[in-house]
Chains A and B, each alone.
Chain A
């Protein structure tokens, strides 16, 4: 088992992670001052492949093209504007301190480190906080219509895990507006011919080629044209993966249907380390599940917790009446309501971080206080806010979210409290990258949700948009030059090289193998089975026993998939079932890796809650002496356990504390 290997694990040092020297606030400046650059004439001779067009991918592709590189950009949707960043609702954090409420770069850094339960790299997080302000400036310059005050200046709202208002927003559609900003910058570069856009193309492998010194470098990708089914080869001097997270391992999540972890798994199998796969975020405010046919879960923005109050009945008999549908939430008098977040966490109340809010909801529902027919829901109530602010103000702030809720649930949230329940939303774990966002493979970079770098064991609300755009606009355009500066003499390579042919053959063989199974089960039926195992055994509360069970069950699902899946149609044309099968084959591997990592991490931190490790009050109990490290998993082969490599997290600039949102 993987745990036995921890004794002899290899170690990644700060030097190997390329953390710059010097005080925290000087590291990024020092890096930029001394890094190598590529001159304009040479930029024109270099090709960069960017996979993905979400906030990270689109902003990187646009910015790299503006700088003069030739960019090849790939997305699986019919247009780059549809990447799942578009669905982010609430906002984007920045340390502008426009509200004069005590914010600063240091405070944003500190909140992010603390919110991540001291499992993120200090240098990366500080850089993130530092460039956060540039992001807001950039977006405004692009014409992103952020919400404004009557005086004409930018408005802010509060989000979980912070005591300042630092979240910029555009109604409940912030992700959409930021993505359309990046998409417009990208469109401009496509129009100029600096970006070649490949819509409806899915990466199926990375191509590595050894240079004269025997160093393996990423030099291209194999992609499938999803319309024609053709397998195609593309060369790049460097490859940037911006393919998002792997939350859909759980089948039901807030992710889009096609969001997947396959690009990450492809590069993992070629040698890139996968870091902290067990850190997955369960978002507390989603619309509860309503049936077996359900295809996804819908998030209700965390911003609702600014004015909404979360509660369940105090009396078990009231909860049971709610479960039987005999009464509604509004029938329960004030004194019989348990505002459990306000009760347990007086200082942060309804605005505790997501992991804390999710576990608190689970705790109440496990005890029988759930408020819908499945017993798996709590109330999010706006009656106080409507009384205090008036219905119009509430409608102006949250109208589109209320409308969305009503369309799905067929109940008016102005009159009866919303029902919510936690759901898988985001994955903090991902491909290991160094300070330059380069993976353990030379010339292969990974940005946005696809990497592991900034959120530790738990991401704060409104920080995903910040990280995606920070990586794409302000980090990778610098750090990739440090790599490319000594690649300027490398000519464009032919895709007829044997390495390309071999990678294409690997992809073709896998497709042929899948098409030949001709079993009895649909892809979705197997994916749903995997999702249930993940939710039940690798979900909000994990134990050594549940994780061992999960690994056994996932191995059985893998066998079932590879012997009994049925894919209709042909591989040489449009085939959605084949696309889904290829992604599911990787979700099965990711699910297993998540369980292996969770089993190894014998502590509770952030989104990873091992029930054996909790305080008497049920809070997460870290084991800093044993687990203050990034768990990097190295692929060792199809049938062998991955190897654990540790990157110790030495906190040089912050004191590690037990997270406390009570006082």
Chain B
């Protein structure tokens, strides 16, 4: 099977694959993770809020977005954001949104739903007495969240947050539907140009496997360390 396997195509294209493709994938993953965790934490605080409308809005948002395939959300956003932007800015023509901005926005909005549920569990894992103790010392809601609850919730949830980020890293490959040159996109371009589909897609799979396997091992070790500290 590997008799006419052409390793040369990898040799010729790896710079392009990594410096253009993987660089995009990593950048999108990291920004989407940061944005998703911030937005997701806010959603989690809303879902747990005693103000019913806030809880309802966040709950509906999370449940709706989680019931739609990610590919569809990516498409929708890509084609709708220019028009929504035009509507918000009261402009007559659709605004120009780059592929990166559009896909970043999509992933932040989408992944926030999953980070929200993780942070919700994290916040709920902190005993109520901790909040009471914060309040009793005169801290406000935001202060006791920022100084007492969230730091502990993050620490408890760190392994799950990172696992979700590994999923995100894989999900980012779906932007190929927008013809964006992420890692998979770059590989498929080379593959089709050189007619070396098997080689390129095998190579991509190996890299993804290696990266994700290494990351999940890291998470496992982290988990063990946290368990000792607590």
**A and B associate in one complex:** no
